[in-house]
């Protein structure tokens, strides 16, 4: 009963915060407050982020992106929604073009929450320096492959497999130019036992406008894959 009362109080508090009128100064004052100084501020931060209607400076963009990682899941998801919204607007997108922000976006693309992954990966094409992102992403692939090799007989293997899944989604979103590294990545992912990884491999291949001997060999193998979802993408090869 006590727990139910506590939940009702938290709902009432959240509802009151939703109805509260915030100025831009109020919003950024809340976002500048460390969670360690005010443990109950996470819900208010989430609401303030969702109330943001624009970004007017690099400092504001940096503060928003700061909350995209290493914060409560509610805050991270709210951030991903707003970053997705803002980066699709040319006049605001310019504030999200620093390397520090791009590093955070790639980290967020591997969040434990799939809604965050989707929202962030969707706006990767709006990054100007895609070569920087791709260099970082290929390094991330190497890290994930190495980690998966170590975790083969561990319960953490499946969790790490999700990282690989979202890395492939990010690769597809960035529409990468030809590079030996993409051959190396897809050659490995095309042989994974988990069909979702092979499916995403086929998805990446189906969108490429170039080919090579290695890529053609991978396509040939996936065309006869046992799984329908993998073969579905192979129709577009």
Query: Do residues 115 and 156 both lie within one domain?
Result: no
Average pLDDT over residues 190-218: 96
Q: Which of 14-18, 55-59, 122-126, 160-164 has the lowest mean pLDDT?
A: 14-18
Domain that holds residue 34: 1-128
Average pLDDT over residues 102-123: 98
In 123-224, which ranges are continuous DSSP H helix?
Answer: 130-150, 157-174, 180-189, 195-207, 213-223
Query: Do residues 27 and 138 both lie within one domain?
Result: no
Query: Do residues 142 and 101 both lie within one domain?
Result: no
pLDDT tens, residue by residue, 66-92: 999 999 999 999 999 999 999 999 999
Which among 87, 113, 128 is the end of a domain?
Answer: 128
Query: Do residues 6 and 69 both lie within one domain?
Result: yes
Round to whole Å and give the CA distance between 197 and 199. Answer: 5
Please report, rounded to a whole number, the percentage of residues in the chain having pLDDT higher than 90.
78
Q: How many domains does the chain have?
A: 2
Average pLDDT over residues 86-113: 98
Query: Do residues 141 and 123 both lie within one domain?
Result: no
Number of C-beta neighbours around residue 234 at 10 A: 19
What pLDDT, on a 0 to 100 scale, did the predictor assign at position 20? 74
Sign of CA dihedral 152, 157, 163, 165: positive
Query: Do residues 28 and 138 both lie within one domain?
Result: no
């Amino acid at each position: 009963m006590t727990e139910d009362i506590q939940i009702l109080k938290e709902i009432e508090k959240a509802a009151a915060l939703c109805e509260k009128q915030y100025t831009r100064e109020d919003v950024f004052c809340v976002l500048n407050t460390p969670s360690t100084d005010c443990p109950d501020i996470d819900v208010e931060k989430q609401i303030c982020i969702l109330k943001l209607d624009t970004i007017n400076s690099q400092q504001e963009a940096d503060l928003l992106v700061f909350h995209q990682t290493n914060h409560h899941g509610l805050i991270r998801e709210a951030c991903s929604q707003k970053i997705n919204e803002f980066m699709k607007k040319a006049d605001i997108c310019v504030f999200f073009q620093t390397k520090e922000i791009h590093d955070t976006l790639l980290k967020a693309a591997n969040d434990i929450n799939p809604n965050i992954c989707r929202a962030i990966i969707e706006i990767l094409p709006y990054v100007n320096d895609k070569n920087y992102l791709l260099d970082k992403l290929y390094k991330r692939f190497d890290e994930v492959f190495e980690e998966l090799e170590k975790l083969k007989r561990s319960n953490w293997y499946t969790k790490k497999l999700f990282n690989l899944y979202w890395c492939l989604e990010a690769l597809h979103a960035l529409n990468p130019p030809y590079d030996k590294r993409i051959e190396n990545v897809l050659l490995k992912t095309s042989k994974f036992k988990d069909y979702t990884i092979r499916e995403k491999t086929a998805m990446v291949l189906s969108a490429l406008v170039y080919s090579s001997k290695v890529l053609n060999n991978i396509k040939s193998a996936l065309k006869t894959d046992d799984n329908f979802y993998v073969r579905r993408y192979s129709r577009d090869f």
